Chains A and B, each alone.
Chain A
Amino acid sequence: MATISVYHEEQNRTYQVNVVLNSSIVSDGSGETDDYLLITTNIRKIDNTNFGTFMVRDLSDTPPSYPTATDFTELVNNYIEYFMDTAQLGQSSSSSSSSSSSSSEGETSSSSSSSDNNSGSSSSSSSSSSELISESSSSSSSSSSSSSSSSSSELYSESSSSSSSSSSSSSSSSSSSSSSSSSSSELYSESSSSSSSSSSSSSSSSSSSSSEMYSESSSSSGV
C-alpha cells in the first residue's frame, strides 16, 4: 500500500491519500479474479463530503477530466492533484488568512480612519475572494464537477457578506473585530454545512458507489 501524506501548512494538518492493490472476483458473472487499485483519501471536498473510492484497472482510469496517464506515477500524482484542487486546499487557506488579517487591523485602532482601513481591507479581501471564485470555478470546471464550483460560489458570497458586516460595525472596534473573526470561523462551519446539504446528491452518489464497491469486494473475498 502506498500512503501519500499531504501537509496543509495553514491548517497544520496532514491528509493521506492511500493507494491499495486489491484482488477479488469481479461481479460480472464470469467468476474470474481481477486485480485493481483502490484510491482513497481523507481529504474532504469543499462541501465537506468524501471523495469516495476510485477503482483503477488501467492507466485510463484517471480522475475526472484528466487524460490517460503514461505510467502509474503520473496516475497517482494526478489523483493527488485532483484531490487538492477539488478540495481547494491552497485557495481556501489563502482567503482565510486575508480575512483574519483584516480583523486584526480593526483591533489596533478605533478611529474613523481605521474603519476606512477596515473597509478597505475587507473590500480587498472580498475582491480577492471574488478572484478566487473565478480561479476556483475555472479550476474546478476543468477538474471537478459543477456542483463543487456552485458550492464554492455560495461560500464566497457568504464570506463577502460577513466581511461587509464587520466593516460596518467597526466603530466598536475590538468587539466588532472579535465578532468578525468569530464570524469568519463560523463561515467555514456554515459553508461546509450548507454546501454539504446543497450538493448532497452528488456526494451521496459517490459514497454509495464506494460502498457498493466495498460490498462487492467484501462479498467476493468471502467467496
Chain B
Amino acid sequence: MAVSYSIYDETAAKSRSVNVNFLGSVLADSGGAGTDTSLRYYFNVVTGARDVDGKRYETQVILNLDELVLNGTKQRRTDTAVAYTDIHDMLSDYLYDMINGHAADLFSSGVAYKGAMSFS
C-alpha cells in the first residue's frame, strides 16, 4: 500500500500526486557494477508530474535516512548535510524538492538545474 500525496497547482488548476511506497526487491546497480543479488528494502518515490522541460521525474529510490535528496549530499530545505531524523522528515524533503525544483548553484551539491514541476 502506497501513500499518495496530492499536490494542487493553483495556476493550472490541476492536481498531481506523488506516490511513495515501501518495497523489497533485488536492486540492479545502475553504476555498471552488475546486479546486487541481495534483497533490499527501500522507499520508492514516483510521480506522474512532469518537469518544466516536459521530462518525467525519475523514480527515486531511498535506502537510508542519510540519502539526502540533493545528490545524496544535502537536504533541500535546510541546506544541511546531516541525515534525516525520521521517515517523515525524509519524505517531506523529497516532496519539497520535487515541487520546488532546485538550481545548479543553489547549494554546493553540484546538482543539475531543475525547476518546479509544471504539472503538465
Q: Which residues of A contact B (CB under 8 A)?
A: 1-4, 19-23, 33-37, 56-59, 70-73, 75-76
Contacts and interface: CB of A to CB of B under 8 A. Distances in A.
A57 B63 contact: no
B107 interface: no
Given A70-B64, A72-B41, A76-B41, A36 B24 contact: no
Sort chain B's interface into a size bin. Answer: 20 to 34
A37 B42 CA distance: 11
Interface stretch (B9-17, B48-56, B82-90, B98-106): B82-90
Given A23-B3, A71-B63, A4 B22 contact: no
A22 B63 contact: no
Residues of B contacting A: mostly:
strand
Interface string B1-34: 1110100000000000000111110000000000
Contacts, number: 69
B91 interface: yes
Interface of B: 1-3, 5, 20-24, 38-43, 63-65, 85-88, 91-92
Residues of A contacting B: mostly:
strand
A20 B2 CA distance: 8
B64 A1 contact: no
Contacts of A23: 3, 5
A73 B88 contact: no
